[in-house]
Amino acid sequence: ATVEAQMAGDDQDDDWADEAEAEVLADLKQAGAEVLPEPESETDNIFSEKVLRELVRDLIREQLQGDLGERITRNIRKLVKAELARALDLRALD
C-alpha cells in the first residue's frame, strides 16, 4: 500500500470512528434516561456499595459481550491493522 492510499484509508477510518463514537454516545444518552433517581435520604439507599459494584460489574461485562463489545473489538482490529500498514509503509520507505 502506498502512503497516499494509506492516507485515504485514514480518512475512511476517521469517518468510521466518528460514526462509531456517535452510536456509542447515543446509546449512553439513551441509557442515561433509564437511570434511577438519587435517593432523598440515607434510608432510601437500599443497596449496599458491594451489591452496586457487583451489579455494575455484571452490567459492563454483559454489554462488552454484546453489540458494544463487538464494536469495540472491530475498532481495535481496525486500529491495529492501520498501525501495521503504517509501520510496513515506513519500513518500505527506508
Residue 88 CA to residue 85 CA, distance in Å, equals: 5
What pLDDT does residue 44 have? Answer: 56
Residue 75 belongs to domain spanning: 3-29+47-93
Closest by Cα among 9, 30, 5 to 78: 9
- Count up the domains in the chain and report the number: 1
Residue 36 included in any domain: no
Query: Model pTM?
Result: 0.41
Contacts of 86 (CB under 8 A, 6+ apart): 6
Residue 35 lies inside a defined structural domain of this protein: no
Q: Which of 11-25, 34-48, 77-91: highest mean pLDDT?
A: 77-91
Residue 82 is assigned to a structural domain of this protein: yes
Domain annotation covers residue 42: no
What letter would DSSP give residue 47? S
Q: What is the band of 1 on the pLDDT scale with cuts at 50, 70, 90?
A: very low
Q: Which residue has the cell 443497596?
A: 47
75-90 pLDDT tens trace: 999 999 999 999 999 9
DSSP-based three-state secondary structure for 6: helix
Q: Would you say residue 59 lies in a domain? A: yes
